[in-house]
Structure formats: structure tokens, C-alpha cells
């Protein structure tokens, strides 16, 4: 199932150019939240998740669903209200506290053994746990493994030099039956330094292709005035479904 209608015809390059060496520090991300430069946050949630929810759930109920670099994504409460158990990880404590406040959820706060300075915020209802730490400090030992992953604004936000590390972490968090919905972006990487970073299809195959079946679900034109202000001529969102290959 692919939707490529009305998408600009572009020649996709496997070369990410000047972005290869681009590094955004943890402090810079914390400053974005502090200065309210959070244009990546979707107040009404993301239409792609609603559109492909059945693909993520795959007929299953009571799933453990992971939100990497979750921010204050409203979809976390939406899925929890459906009876799923949601786990997120986010560097900004401000973002996590705003999530609970804006969603009118009471919560508790605990330290995480083994991760210095890290915390986990847990909803009183018990079905939302949000870790406040570097995503690279998380592991299956700490957070468990997941039936589903919703990755929108995470792979495209991490530094390009960290992608292999990131991909290996995601793979280690997947249960055998996990459905991983991944959203990437395409644009002229010579015109915008990122984030969000340009992630070509060839890189998805390089990062995940050895152990995952990769299906491109959709490629849509998401160009807006915001992207025009960045100096871009086009901006595409690409949605993939990743599932672990069957063991022979």
C-alpha cells in the first residue's frame, strides 16, 4: 500500500552532504524547549499515526508501545486510553511535566537505578511511563521490549553520526512481533542544515535491512511556509513499516 500521488518528482540522493558532521548538543535541545522553539510538536497529534493505527496494532490489544524522543506527544494519552501501555523517553523534563499537566494526569516521580540524574514519570493510572534521560541510556533491561514503536521526529532528530547506535538500540527494544512505524523526511540537504535531518531510503535499508522487512507505506508532500522559510523548495514525509524478519 503506497501513496505517492501529487508528490514532487525528485532525485533522491544517498549522500546527506554537509549534514553528516552536524551535531546538535543535548543543551541545544533543552534550550528549544526552554525558548519554546518546538515547531515539531503537533498539538492535535499526527494524522499519519491515526491513518496507520491498524498497521501498528495489527489486531492486537493491550500492547506495550514505545515513543522515542516523545516530547509531550498527545498520542501517548490517546493510546493509553485505548488500553495500551505507553513508554516514552525524552531529554527535557519540562516537556514531560507539560505532558502530564496538559493531559490532566496525575503522576509520580522516581529515580532510575543505574542512570545518574535520570528520572521516570509514571501516571497514577499506571499505563504511562516516561523516562527523562538520554535515549542512549535506555535499554531493554530498564524499559523492557515493545510490541509497537511510533518513531516520528526521533530518527530525524538524532545526530547523523549516531544513527547506527540508534538503530541498534531500536532493534534491541523490539519484540519478535513488533510493528515499528517510522516517519522520515526528504528535502534538499544542501539547503537546510537540520534538524529535522534528511534520511534517504538507502539509509533506512542500510540501518535496518539486514534484520527487518521494510515496507514503504506512504510518501507525501508536507511542504509548508515553515519549510519555505528554511529556504527549501519541497519537503516530503515518508512512512515505513519495519518488522523483524522471520528466523529460519
* Model confidence pLDDT, tens digit, residues 179-223: 999 999 999 999 999 999 999 999 999 999 999 999 999 999 999
pLDDT of residue 37: 79
Q: Are strands 236-244 and 212-221 parallel, antiparallel or unpaired?
A: antiparallel
pLDDT tens per residue across span 65-112: 999 999 999 999 999 999 999 999 999 999 999 999 999 999 999 999
- Per-residue pLDDT at 162 exceeds 80: yes
Counted domains in the chain? 1
Q: Which one has a higher pLDDT value, 7 or 226?
A: 226
Tell me if 10 is assigned to some domain: no
pLDDT at 104: 97
pLDDT band at residue 126 under the 50/70/90 scheme: very high
| pLDDT value of position 45 | 81
* pLDDT tens digits, 41-70: 677 788 999 999 999 999 999 999 999 999
Residue 43: predicted pLDDT: 77
Known binding residues for S-adenosyl-L-methionine: 29-40, 69, 90, 134-135, 152
In a domain, 76, yes or no: yes
What is the pLDDT averaged over residues 108-121?
95
Question: Counting every residue, how long is the chain?
Answer: 248
Task: Tell me which residue range forms the domain holding 225.
Answer: 17-244
- When pLDDT is cut at 50, 70 and 90, the band that residue 11 belongs to is low
Residue 11 lies in a domain: no
In a domain, 3, yes or no: no
- In the chain, beta strands by DSSP E: 64-67, 85-90, 107-111, 119-123, 128-132, 146-152, 174-186, 212-221, 236-244
**Sign of the CA dihedral running 55, 182, 165, 213:** positive
* pLDDT at residue 163 is higher than 90: yes
Of the candidates 214, 163, 155, the residue with the CA atom closest to the CA atom of residue 186: 155
> Confidence band (pLDDT; 50, 70, 90) for 35?
confident
| pTM listed for this prediction | 0.93
Q: Is 137 helix (H, G, I), strand (E, B) or coil?
A: helix
Split at pLDDT 50, 70, 90, the class of 16 is low
Specify if 89 maps to a domain: yes
Pairing of the two strands 146-152 and 64-67? parallel
CATH number at residue 30: 3.40.50.150
Residue pLDDT, tens place only, 167-178: 999 999 999 999
Radius of gyration over alpha carbons of the chain, in Å? 18
- The answer to whether residue 1 is domain-embedded is no
Mean pLDDT of all residues in 22-43: 85
In tens, the pLDDT along 140-161 reads 999 999 999 999 999 999 999 9
**Does residue 110 sit within a domain?**
yes
For the ranges 7-11, 20-24, 179-183, the maximum mean pLDDT occurs at 179-183
Checking if the pLDDT of 4 tops 60, the result is no
The residue among 237, 228, 182, 234 whose CA lies nearest residue 205 is: 182
If you average pLDDT over residues 223-243, what whole number do you get?
96
Crossing angle of helices 201-208 and 163-172, rounded to 10°: 50
189 in any annotated domain: yes
CA gap 54, 93 in Å, rounded: 31
Binding residues: 29-40, 69, 90, 134-135, 152
Region 240-246 average pLDDT? 96
Amino acid at each position: 500500500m503506497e501513496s505517492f500521488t501529487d508528490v514532487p518528482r525528485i532525485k533522491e540522493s544517498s549522500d546527506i552532504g554537509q549534514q553528516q558532521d552536524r551535531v546538535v548538543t543535548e543543551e541545544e535541545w533543552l534550550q528549544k524547549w526552554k525558548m519554546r522553539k518546538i515547531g515539531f510538536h503537533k498539538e492535535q497529534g499526527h494524522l499519519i499515526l491515526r491513518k496507520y493505527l491498524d498497521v501498528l496494532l495489527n489486531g492486537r490489544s493491550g500492547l506495550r508501545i514505545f515513543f522515542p524522543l516523545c516530547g509531550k506527544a498527545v498520542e501517548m494519552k490517546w493510546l493509553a486510553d485505548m488500553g495500551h501501555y505507553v513508554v516514552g523517553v525524552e531529554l527535557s523534563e519540562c516537556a514531560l511535566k507539560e505532558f502530564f499537566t496538559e493531559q490532566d494526569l496525575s503522576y509520580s516521580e522516581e529515580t532510575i537505578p543505574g542512570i545518574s540524574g535520570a528520572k521516570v514519570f509514571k501516571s497514577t493510572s499506571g499505563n504511562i511511563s516516561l523516562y527523562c534521560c538520554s535515549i542512549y541510556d535506555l535499554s531493554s533491561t530498564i524499559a523492557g521490549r515493545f510490541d509497537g514503536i511510533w518513531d516520528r521526529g526521533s530518527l530525524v532528530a538524532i545526530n547523523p553520526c549516531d544513527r547506527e547506535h540508534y538503530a541498534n538500540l531500536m532493534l534491541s527494544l523490539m519484540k519478535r512481533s513488533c510493528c515499528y512505524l517510522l516517519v522520515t523526511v526528504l528535502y534538499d540537504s544542501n539547503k537546510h542544515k537540520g534538524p529535522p535531518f534528511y534520511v534517504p531510503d538507502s539509509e533506512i535499508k542500510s540501518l535496518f535491512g539486514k534484520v527487518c522487512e521494510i515496507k514503504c507505506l506512504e510518501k507525501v508532500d508536507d511542504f509548508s511556509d515553515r519549510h519555505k522559510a528554511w529556504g527549501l523548495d519541497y519537503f516530503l514525509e515518508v512512512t515505513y513499516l519495519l518488522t523483524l524478519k522471520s528466523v529460519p
